[in-house]
């Protein structure tokens, strides 16, 4: 149903994309669009720590040390599959490079700083592992091939099937270099959904042939906020879009209808985070409600150099609103599948800022590559999985410097994460989730010392490195991998649910044909669909999604790679 106004619940990438398409393809004015959000960036954040101290999710645990930088997560792009994202970025000016669109900015930077990871896997006692040798056996190959060859119509056969269950007769899979690289590139776990692994294998099949070097990975000039979100915010504000932040939408009013499954929003309950006051915003029949129904950074908390990030047991605020809608209507998915199983979804990340380049230079020496070329991972030599297998301890990303526009020339910023935060460190004997920023830095130095144990061991410089650290911010994210949680296809609502007159769902917890989640691509695509629907634009105008899983040459190269 065509509308003339829109209320956006959530101000992340998906809804900002929807706003751009409403303006440019629907020919709406900016003042027809209003955003309500707890913040104005969603999960694509990044900046000085002072930018985060007042945000609602950390209000009860303020940081003592507010120097340095923080990004709760990091984003890798891929031009070949992120076609909707690049279309969006080509519609708006760069926030940092005059005369360029945000897409041209990214293309220009990437052309001069191509990814070629020479140290994709690092293991204590062995140094750089040859990731080109995937280590697959015939059973691994057969099961992976079945995923790639499975038709889209058969995907429901994987409803509620975890990756571990899919490979239950093939535990060898989880000891291959292929799995280590896939796990750390995309943040899959063995308990994640096999459906999602299938979608990744379909849409990223060509990346399979070059995963050890990540040459298909593209990066933005700066952090994801300044290179992706800030251009969107500036463009939308220039168009007259209204942003009302520090607001949480807590409940719905729906119309009563003779058709009990008809979904019509008539009001939203909006809470002011600062004052606690709540108002009901009426939704008339000309207004669309576009709702991002889950966020991987909901309930996130931060620590600092001397303080661990505390656990926030709050059910995700966007998921809580989603859940209230599911209590009224039957076809809107199952939020608890994603937000009620923290053991399957939690991460701890850290952002480390130094006042000189000593640590950066040591990592460059150990990995034999310059900053910005790689995503490095560390493997443990200690059996720590329930099956007694080796597994990844931690991952780090060494960005091209500077990673923030306000970063000083002498400063370095390094990001890393622990995919299994309740495991115990090898050098700091406590769970990662309990570590301070200082202890995470010590654990990092210890892991690097295992990789390069010779006379120039980094341990010899530990005191000097620790003295160079301005801050190291641990971030606990209970729902960071929630979008991969084991599920059925119907556990996510469609972007435009059946019988909905004015409500759309966007983001990583909305179901879209073929799209893989945890990507800027799927987020933008959902916003594009919602905008076209409510603006009356034909879906034939959607950006064409490439299908590399249908390309014989790509499949042949992937088959050859399986036997490497």
The alpha carbon of residue 178 and the mean position of all alpha carbons in its chain are separated, in whole angstroms, by 21
Angle between helices 230-238 and 13-24 (to 10 degrees): 40
Contact 109, 115 (CB under 8 A): no
Contact 192, 344 (CB under 8 A): yes
Catalytic residue among 180, 200, 222, 420: 200
Looking at the DSSP assignment, which residues form a beta bridge with residue 77?
Answer: 218
Phi then psi for residue 545, to 5 deg, are -90, 120
Contact 11, 521 (CB under 8 A): no
Contact 447, 356 (CB under 8 A): no
Looking at the DSSP assignment, which residues form a beta bridge with residue 37?
Answer: 245
Residues 6+ apart with CB under 8 A from 553: none
Contact 435, 425 (CB under 8 A): yes
- Strand, helix or coil for residue 218: strand
Contact 136, 176 (CB under 8 A): yes
The DSSP letter of residue 286 is: T
- Strand, helix or coil for residue 47: strand
Long-range Cβ contact pairs of 322-328 (< 8 A, separation 24 or more): 322/291, 322/293, 322/294, 322/505, 322/509, 324/251, 324/252, 325/252, 325/293, 325/503, 328/252, 328/254
Contact 297, 53 (CB under 8 A): no
User: Cα–Cα distance between 494 and 508 in angstroms, integer?
Assistant: 11
Contact 442, 311 (CB under 8 A): no
Query: Rounded to 5, what percent of the chain is helix, strand, coil?
Result: 35, 20, 45
Contact 220, 76 (CB under 8 A): no
305 is catalytic: no
Cis bond leading into 101, ω under 30°?
no
Surface-to-core class of residue 55, CB atoms within 10 Å of its CB (0-12 exposed, 13-18 middle, 19+ buried) = middle
User: Cα–Cα distance between 360 and 369 in angstroms, integer?
Assistant: 11
Number of neighbouring beta carbons within 10 Å of residue 562: 19
Contact 76, 218 (CB under 8 A): yes
Calculate the dihedral angle through the C-alpha atoms of 43, 47, 50, 54, rounding to the nearest 10 degrees: -20
Contact 82, 337 (CB under 8 A): no
Surface-to-core class of residue 312, CB atoms within 10 Å of its CB (0-12 exposed, 13-18 middle, 19+ buried) = middle
Cα separation values, 265 from 7, 247, 287, 511, 560, Å? 11, 18, 9, 20, 53
User: Catalytic residue numbers?
Assistant: 200
């Amino acid at each position: 149903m065509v509308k003339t106004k829109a209320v956006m619940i959530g101000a992340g990438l998906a809804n900002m994309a929807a706003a751009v398409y409403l303006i440019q393809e629907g020919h709406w004015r900016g003042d027809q669009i209003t955003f309500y959000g707890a913040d104005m960036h969603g999960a694509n954040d990044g900046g000085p720590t002072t930018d985060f101290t007042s945000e609602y999710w950390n209000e009860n645990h303020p940081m003592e040390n507010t120097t340095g930088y923080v990004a709760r997560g990091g984003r890798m792009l891929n031009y070949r599959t992120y076609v909707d994202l690049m279309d969006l970025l080509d519609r708006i000016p760069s926030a940092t490079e005059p005369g360029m669109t945000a897409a041209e900015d990214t293309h220009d930077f990437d052309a001069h700083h191509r990814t070629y990871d020479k140290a994709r896997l690092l293991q204590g006692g062995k140094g750089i592992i040859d990731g080109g040798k995937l280590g697959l056996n015939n059973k691994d190959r057969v099961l992976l091939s079945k995923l790639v060859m499975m038709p889209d119509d058969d995907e429901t056969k994987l409803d509620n099937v975890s990756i571990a269950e899919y490979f239950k007769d093939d535990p060898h899979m989880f000891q291959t270099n292929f799995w280590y690289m896939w796990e750390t590139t995309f943040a899959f776990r063995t308990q994640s959904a096999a459906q999602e692994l299938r979608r990744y294998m379909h849409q990223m099949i060509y990346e399979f042939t070059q995963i050890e070097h990540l040459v298909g990975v593209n990066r933005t000039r700066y952090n994801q906020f300044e290179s992706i979100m800030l251009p969107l915010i500036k463009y939308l504000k220039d168009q007259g879009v209204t942003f009302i932040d520090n607001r949480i939408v807590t409940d719905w009013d729906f119309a009563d209808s003779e058709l009990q499954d008809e979904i019509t929003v008539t009001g939203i309950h909006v809470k002011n985070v600062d004052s606690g006051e709540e108002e009901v915003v009426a939704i008339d029949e000309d207004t669309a409600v576009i709702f991002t129904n889950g966020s991987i950074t909901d309930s996130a908390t931060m620590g600092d150099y001397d303080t661990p990030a505390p656990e926030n047991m709050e059910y995700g605020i966007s998921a809580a609103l989603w859940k209230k809608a599911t209590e009224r209507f039957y076809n809107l998915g199952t939020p608890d599948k994603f937000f009620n199983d923290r053991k399957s979804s939690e991460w701890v990340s850290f952002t480390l800022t130094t006042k000189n380049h000593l640590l950066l230079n040591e990592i460059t020496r150990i990995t034999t590559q310059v900053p910005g070329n790689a995503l490095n991972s560390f493997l443990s030599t200690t059996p720590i999985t329930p099956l007694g297998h080796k597994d990844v301890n931690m991952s780090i990303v060494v960005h091209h410097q500077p990673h923030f526009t306000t970063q000083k020339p002498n400063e370095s910023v390094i990001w890393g994460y622990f995919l299994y935060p309740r495991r115990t460190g090898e050098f700091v004997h406590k769970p990662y989730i309990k570590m301070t920023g200082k202890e995470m830095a010590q654990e990092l130095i210890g892991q690097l010392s295992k990789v390069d144990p010779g006379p120039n061991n980094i341990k010899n410089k530990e005191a000097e490195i620790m003295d160079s650290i301005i801050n190291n911010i641990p971030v606990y994210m209970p729902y960071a991998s929630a979008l991969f949680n084991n599920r059925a296809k119907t556990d996510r609502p469609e972007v435009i649910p059946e019988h909905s007159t004015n409500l759309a769902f966007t983001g990583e917890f909305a179901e879209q044909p073929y799209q893989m989640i945890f990507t800027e691509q799927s987020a933008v695509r959902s916003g594009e669909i919602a905008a076209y629907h409510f603006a009356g634009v034909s879906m034939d105008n959607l950006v064409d999604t490439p299908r590399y899983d249908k390309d014989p040459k790509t499949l042949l190269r992937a088959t050859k790679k399986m036997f490497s």
